[in-house]
Amino acid sequence: MKLIERNVVDHAWFSESRFGMFVHWGLYALAARHEWVKNREQLTDEDYQRYFDHFDPDLYDPAEWARLAKEAGMRYVVLTTKHHDGFCLWDSAQTDYKSTRTPWGKDLIAPYVEAVRAAGLKVGFYHSLIDWHHPEFPVDSLHPQRDDEAFKAAAKDRDVSKYADYLHAQVRELLTDYGQIDYLFFDFSYRNRPDSWGGKGADDWRSPELLEMVRELQPGIIVNDRLDIPGDFVTPEQYQPAGPMTIDGREVPWEACQTLNGSWGYDRDNLDYKSPDLLVRMLVDSVAKGGNLLLNVGPDGRGQIDPRARRTLADIGAWMELNSRSIYGCGPSEFAAPPDCRYTQRGDRLYLHLFAWPFRHLHLPGLAGRVKYAQFLHDASEIRTRVIDPSQTAKNTSIAAPSPDALTIDLPVQRPDVAVPVIEFFLTG
């Protein structure tokens, strides 16, 4: 099977959007102790069954999820169709371990796809390559029963190729039964990791064959990089890259996936939330380096996004309502931003994001003679600009000497009351 060539898919919508919502939801929402609770607490299938037996998300409203995403300024949504515990949110013909066999008794994916599409957002699926429930998934260092010698002995003849058949069949269902799907996030390969044994990768998933099937079923879809073969974009997780991401010296599309509080799934007692201001900075930082931000929420066992997450999304949305011109369709700039600032750029519009508030004056190297007009983006109020002759600064000790090619901007004493102030520069040709 030939390797699928990287970057054969049109990424225009992805790079234009820059901001998406990740949704981790499944049986682990009932435990409310992190989505890896089965692994962390080494729960058996019998232990975990109580969550299956009581899964009844009567407040599930995907239209509300889509509304929250759209109002936050997000342009695509990605939902976990199956996480590592193996539980499926759709009526898969391959298993009984699915939402339609729980007290809820319904397919959860169909209404999600309909709601996201109706909101004008792109539809994304997450799908786990790992499956701790499947009877042919070989035990490894990530499996909940990794330390149970009797279990491991009974599982020694498991056949990963039979599991791969199941994996491919389920992906085929997801990409056949729900119309156009725009985005697919596989998770994850871990062969040859120094901290693991029995790790799995492309050979186990039959990744080239799987990706070829994905391309045939959904020619316009974009696929991430976690099949252990090249994908359409790379996925730094829980960290912000130092700069644009590259493969073999070539810049590639990327997306940082980040949590609100360190947990992907609903984690009731985890109150370590990032502030809205920090999350806005993370979004800006991603765009300034040529990437996207996929920000996660973890609905609870009844299907609700919790109030603190909703408030955070609303605060980000308030900033995006005024400043999204500096995000959508923007990317890195050729100009070097001052310390504690980030530039994004789209054509002849340059955006300076002020992470810290400088006192009165800021010198911007390389912009002398390049700016026709400058304004705060949030209210279109003018920012005065000037080019200072360095030879004259000795006579005016109130301003440090800038570089000869620097544009100086004069700022108000009071910082604007927005999460991150943005200055919009209209550049000369």
Note down pLDDT in tens along the chain; length 429 residues.
233 344 456 789 999 999 999 999 999 999 999 999 999 999 999 999 999 999 999 999 999 999 999 999 999 999 999 999 999 999 999 999 999 999 999 999 999 999 999 999 999 999 999 999 999 999 999 999 999 999 999 999 999 999 999 999 999 999 999 999 999 999 999 999 998 899 999 999 999 999 999 999 999 999 999 999 999 999 999 999 999 999 999 999 999 999 999 999 999 999 999 999 999 999 999 999 999 999 999 999 999 999 999 999 999 999 999 999 999 999 999 999 999 999 999 999 999 999 999 888 999 999 999 999 999 999 999 999 999 987 766 555 566 668 889 999 999 999 999 999 999 999 998
Residue 126 and residue 163 share a domain:
yes
| CATH number of the domain where residue 298 is located | 3.20.20.80
Residue 321 and residue 240 share a domain:
yes
Q: What is the pLDDT of residue 394?
A: 55
Instruction: Let me know if residue 185 belongs to a domain.
Output: yes
Instruction: Let me know if residue 214 belongs to a domain.
Output: yes
Q: 174 Cβ partners below 8 Å, 6+ apart? A: 81, 90, 109, 125, 127, 181
| CATH number of the domain where residue 365 is located | 2.60.40.1180
Instruction: Let me know if residue 3 belongs to a domain.
Output: no
Residue 163 and residue 19 share a domain:
yes
Residue 290 and residue 247 share a domain:
yes
CA distance 23 to 60: 13
Instruction: Let me know if residue 373 belongs to a domain.
Output: yes
The owner of tokens 């919508």 is 13
Residue 394 and residue 285 share a domain:
no
Residue 305 and residue 345 share a domain:
no
Residue 90 and residue 23 share a domain:
yes
Instruction: Let me know if residue 288 belongs to a domain.
Output: yes
Task: Give the torsion sign (CA, 90, 91, 97, 100).
Answer: positive
The 8 Å CB, 24+ separation contacts for 106-114 are 108/57, 108/60, 109/79, 109/81, 109/174, 109/178, 110/178, 111/60, 111/62, 112/62, 112/65, 112/77, 112/79, 113/178, 113/179, 113/181, 114/62
Contact 377, 325 (CB under 8 A): yes
Residue 272 and residue 354 share a domain:
no
Residue 212 CA from chain centroid, whole number? 24
Instruction: Let me know if residue 5 belongs to a domain.
Output: no
Which among 291, 326, 361 is the end of a domain?
A: 326
Total domains in the fold of the chain: 2
Residue 282 and residue 423 share a domain:
no
What is the residue range of 224's domain? 12-326
Phi, psi dihedral angles at 63 (to 5 degrees): -65, -35
Which among 265, 291, 326 is the end of a domain?
A: 326
Q: What is the pLDDT of residue 359?
A: 80
Residue 370 and residue 309 share a domain:
no
